[in-house]
Amino acid sequence: MKKLSILFFVILTIVSVSFAQKGKTEKKIVKTIDQNTAQSQILLEKLVNINSGTMNLEGVQMVGKALRPHFEKLGFEVTLTDGSGYGRAGHLIATRKGKKGPKILMIGHLDTVFEKDSPFQKYEVVNDSIVKGPGIADMKGGDVIILMALQGLYEAGVLDDMSIQVVMTGDEEKSGSPLHLSKEALVKSAEWADIALGFENADGDPKTIVVARRGSTGWSLKVKGNAAHSSQVFTERVGVGAIYETSRILNAFYKQLSTKENLTFNPGVILGGTKIIEDPTITGGAAYGKSNVVAQEVVVKGDIRAVSLEQLGMAKKEMMAIAGNNYNGTTAELVFEADGGYPPLTQTKGNVQLLELYNQVSQDLGFGKVIAVNPRNAGAADISFTSGYVGMAIDGMGLSGDHDHTINEFGIITKLPQQAKRAAVLMYRLSQK
C-alpha cells in the first residue's frame, strides 16, 4: 500500500471533536451548502433530463459539458477526454492543486443505464422528498453532491489548501474495451491520490457507507462431447455428451463454492446441442439438436464476484480444477475475462479508519451514526480501481435512493444537502494536519 504515513496521520486525526469545537469554518461550510441547495436541485434536474445512456456518446458528453463550468468557477482545471480509443464518450477530469493535506480523489460517473430507447427519460417530482428520474440516484445525484461539497469548501475559504482531483467516468455502466484504456485515467488518478471518495449511492441508505466492494469478472465455459445416436450414450466409445459434462461442472461449482462468504458465481446464459451458433452482440445465440442425438457442444457465459483478490484467485483455482476433471468422452475449457473485469475493493484498515472519521463527522453534524455496508449489497463500481493504490477509500457518499437501473429509480432529494455537508466537512478535517 502506498503512502502508509497517511494512515498514521488519520489515526491522529480520528478523535472525538464536537461540531461546536470545530468552529466557524465548518459552520460556514454548512451554511453555504444550505444556501446553494435550491440551485443545486435545479442543476440536478437539468442533468437528469439529459439522456446519457452509456452508448449515447453525445448525451454523455453533454453532461460533461454541463458540469464543466461549475468546476471551472471553483478554480479547477477541467479536461473532457476522448473515449474513441475504447468506444465510449470519455471522462471529465477536474484538478485543483493545494498547499497542504492529503491528495483526495473524488469519483463519479456521467453515464446511466437508460439509453435513448428507454421509456424512462425525465425528472419527475413525486412529493416533497421523492424525485424519480433516470440516473438520479445512480449517480447524477452523487455528481451534484460532489459540486455542492466543493462549493461549500470554496466559499468557506479552505479549498485553496486542498489537493483534489475529480474523475467522472463516461462508461461506468457499460465499460469500454479494452478495459485498461477505459480505466487508465482513473488508475492514474488513484496512483496520484492518498484517499479516494466514491459518490455512488451504495445500498441507498444514508446510514451506511462502503468500505469493501465485490469485483466482477466474466467467464466462459466451452464443453465438447462426441455426437452419436442417443442409444449409445454412456458407452466407452461415445461417453456422456457435452450437456451431462456441463451439468456436472456447474453442479460442482455450486456444491464446492456456494457456501463461501461473499463469493457468488452465476451462469447467466447456456447454449447446447449438436450445433450452436453464438451471437456476441446479444451475449446469446441459437442451439440445434434432437432428443435422440448425444449433445456435441455447450457454451455457458457467466460472472464471478469476490470480495478480495485472494478470494477471487482461490475461486478461479477451484473452478479450473473442477472443469478439468472430465467425464468420459468430453473436454472442457474454462476461460476468465482477459482484462480481469472490475477488481474488488478490498477492505483495509485504512478504509475502516476513514469510515470511523466519516461516522464522527456525521454524528457531529447531527445526522447520526454510519456503519459499513454488507459487501453482498454493494456491486462493482469505479472506486474498485483505486484498490491497492490509495491508503484509504470509502464509497456510497452519493444521493440516497432506490430501484437503481429500473424505471422506478428515485432519489431522496431532501438528503442532497446532508450528503454534501458530510462530504465537505470530512474533506476539511482531512486537510487539517
Q: Are residues 156 and 74 in the same domain?
A: yes
Looking at the domain assignment, is residue 9 inside a domain?
no
The stretch 380-384 carries a mean pLDDT of: 91
Q: Percent of the chain scored above 70 by pLDDT?
A: 95
CATH number at residue 77: 3.40.630.10
Q: Are residues 358 and 391 in the same domain?
A: yes
The stretch 388-400 carries a mean pLDDT of: 96
Q: Are residues 156 and 89 in the same domain?
A: yes
H helix or E strand, kind and range, residue 77: strand 77-80
343: helix, coil or strand?
Answer: coil
Task: Estimate the crossing angle of helix 57-73 against helix 24-48, to 10 degrees.
Answer: 150
Domain that residue 319 falls in? 217-336
In the chain, the number of structural domains is 2
Looking at the domain assignment, is residue 2 inside a domain?
no
For residue 275, how many other CB atoms are within 10 A of its CB?
Answer: 14
Q: Are residues 44 and 183 in the same domain?
A: yes
State the Cα angle at 85 between 382 and 108, rounded to 5°.
Answer: 25
306: helix, coil or strand?
Answer: coil
Q: Are residues 305 and 358 in the same domain?
A: no
pTM: 0.86
State the Cα angle at 176 between 91 and 66, rounded to 5°.
Answer: 25
Tens of pLDDT, residues 219-269? 999 999 999 999 999 999 999 999 999 999 999 999 999 999 999 999 999
24: helix, coil or strand?
Answer: helix
Highest mean pLDDT of the ranges 109-113, 279-283, 336-340 = 109-113
Q: Are residues 76 and 134 in the same domain?
A: yes
21 pLDDT band, cuts 50/70/90, is very low
Return the pLDDT at 414. Answer: 97
Q: Are residues 184 and 75 in the same domain?
A: yes
- Which of these three, 336, 366, 392, is where a domain ends? 336
The stretch 288-316 carries a mean pLDDT of: 95
Looking at the domain assignment, is residue 375 inside a domain?
yes
Looking at the domain assignment, is residue 382 inside a domain?
yes
Looking at the domain assignment, is residue 4 inside a domain?
no
376 pLDDT band, cuts 50/70/90, is confident
Which of these, 398, 383, 376, 373, lies nearest to 135 by C-alpha position?
398
**Residue 162, C-beta contacts closer than 8 angstroms, at least 6 positions apart:** 96, 98, 100, 101, 104, 153, 427, 431
Beta bridge partners of 269: 301
Which of these, 300, 306, 304, 312, lies nearest to 249 by C-alpha position?
300
One-letter amino acid at 170 equals: G
Q: How far is CA 339 from CA 284, 336, 348, in A?
A: 21, 9, 24
End-to-end CA distance of the chain: 21
Question: Residue 26: is its pLDDT beyond 50?
Answer: yes
What are the grid coordinates assigned to 192, written together?
496520484
